[in-house]
Amino acid sequence: MVVGDFSHEKEVIIVGGGPGGYHAAIRAAQLGKEVAIIEKNAIGGICLNNGCISSKLFAEAAKRMRDAADLSSFGVTASSLSFDMSALQERKETIITNLTKGVKALLNKYHVEMIKGEATFLADNQIGVERGESFEKYQFEQAVIATGATYTRPDSVSMEHKRILDPSTLYKLKELPEHLIVYGSDYQAVEAASTFSALGSQVTFAYKDELPYDPAVTKELLRLMKKHKIKVIKETSLEECSPGDNDITVSFLSDSKEKTVTASHLYISCTQKPNTPSLRLDACGVNTDEYGFIPITPTTETNQPHIFAVGDVTPNSELAVESIKQGKVAGERMAGEKSEWDPYAIPQVTHAIRPIASVGLTAESARKEGFDVAVGNFSLSANGYAALTNKKEGVIKIISEKKTDVILGFQAIGEGSVEMISQAVQSLEMGARDEDITYPFYPHPSFNEAWLEAAESLKNKAVHRV
């Protein structure tokens, strides 16, 4: 290995080129900083290359399949309908390539130097980059750690096998699973079950812990799963799996009773392990918690005020939306701007059989925090636009404090939920009251009228509430 004799000098070094990293790099460069970004794999990180983009493309394909199956409701007749996995994978690669080129073009536009290699800290102002047989040193004034995290399977299913899938491998399949067992209670598991069912797989959805939704949303989701012939096994633990050449057998334990399911593939939800061990953080004095995550302040600073951390490498988030916000804050803080992030109003979205969206407090969590709450409910079955689009399943809930009428939370399942969530986030951020939602005009007919009538139902004013 050839080691450079001198250190290159940069004002700002970003370690990691995912959403958090490249947003930090571009914002710092926009504000006049000289920036370099180090990425050992591909610019765009897991989200762009093997995460958000892949899973949402598959979810969109599933939505198109559901919509196509309902064409006869609109007088459209189609003789046949089929799904081509290879065509979707080809489109996925094209999208990823184009988006990656786009990010690189933005970095070039703002003169951010892209360095391919693996970074390790040598001191609190120096970093080394290994690139094949060479090793270069870089001196910096400020740095951002944005190295993300890696999916880790539970010990009971830690083995590597072509029939055992996780979030990093599911959307790389070249053939559609004949029967997919999905085990997990997070949003990724719900998306996997919903997506592959629509694409044509037989799906068994098993979970141990409560699903991460409001009880009314969970009830509607499980009803939809049953309607779409997804077999659900609740409150069960995965005890053992035995993969073979042609199938995999999984043993579940529920109420002391064992249940065995044989399928073609098993998808398993994972936890995340931060990508910090190889960074040698001891050399720069940055602290981690007991799991290896880097604690940060509302300004994204670590315990070393000139070193920042953003995204999955911190204990605060596993969502790209928060990584992006933290990255922007880090870039702005390094340039002297007064910028902070607050996890209070982060939208949570699941692309299920019908989209799920939530932000803020549920009625239950609000009561636990001591609020006297009002709950506004509205069923999409009473919404005119839902009726004409034939997407009437779903419920919209808005939570407010009775004393002040301030909006505390929003939970929804149903078509239009993802669009409504932006209004809910804005309402929470501005400290809106119910009258701030009910006063404006809403287009008619539209799904957004369900948001209006859910707010009106807080005080029993909704006209179409059944």
* Residue 394 annotated as lining a ligand binding site: no
Q: Tell me how far the alpha carbon of residue 142 is from its chain's centroid.
A: 28
User: Helix 85-109 vs helix 19-30: angle between axes, to the nearest 10 degrees?
Assistant: 30
| Alpha carbon distance 293, 289 (integer Å) | 5
Residue with tokens 């073979």: 244
* Residue 240 annotated as lining a ligand binding site: no
Of the candidates 281, 15, 291, the one whose C-alpha atom is nearest the C-alpha of residue 148 is 15
Q: Are 243 and 163 in contact (CB under 8 A)?
A: yes
Vertex 96, ends 149 and 342: CA angle to 5°? 45
- Which residues lie closer than 8 Å to 340 by C-beta, 6 or more apart? 298, 299, 329
Catalytic residue among 23, 111, 265, 444: 444
* Residue 342 annotated as lining a ligand binding site: no
Number of residues assigned to the chain: 466
- Establish whether 306 is a catalytic residue: no
* Residue 186 annotated as lining a ligand binding site: yes
Q: Helix, strand, or coil here: 373?
A: strand
* Residue 143 annotated as lining a ligand binding site: no
* Residue 340 annotated as lining a ligand binding site: no
* Residue 188 annotated as lining a ligand binding site: yes
| Alpha carbon distance 264, 246 (integer Å) | 7
Q: Are 14 and 146 in contact (CB under 8 A)?
A: yes
* Residue 209 annotated as lining a ligand binding site: no
User: Helix 320-334 vs helix 19-30: angle between axes, to the nearest 10 degrees?
Assistant: 30
Q: Are 152 and 270 in contact (CB under 8 A)?
A: yes
Residue with tokens 């990584």: 323
* Residue 312 annotated as lining a ligand binding site: yes
* Residue 189 annotated as lining a ligand binding site: yes
Vertex 18, ends 16 and 20: CA angle to 5°? 90
Residue with tokens 């991460």: 212
| Alpha carbon distance 14, 319 (integer Å) | 19
| Alpha carbon distance 422, 430 (integer Å) | 12
* Feature table: binding site: 56, 184-191, 312
Please give the annotated binding residues for FAD, written as ranges: 56, 312
Q: Which residues are annotated as a binding site for NAD(+)?
A: 184-191
Active-site residue list: 444
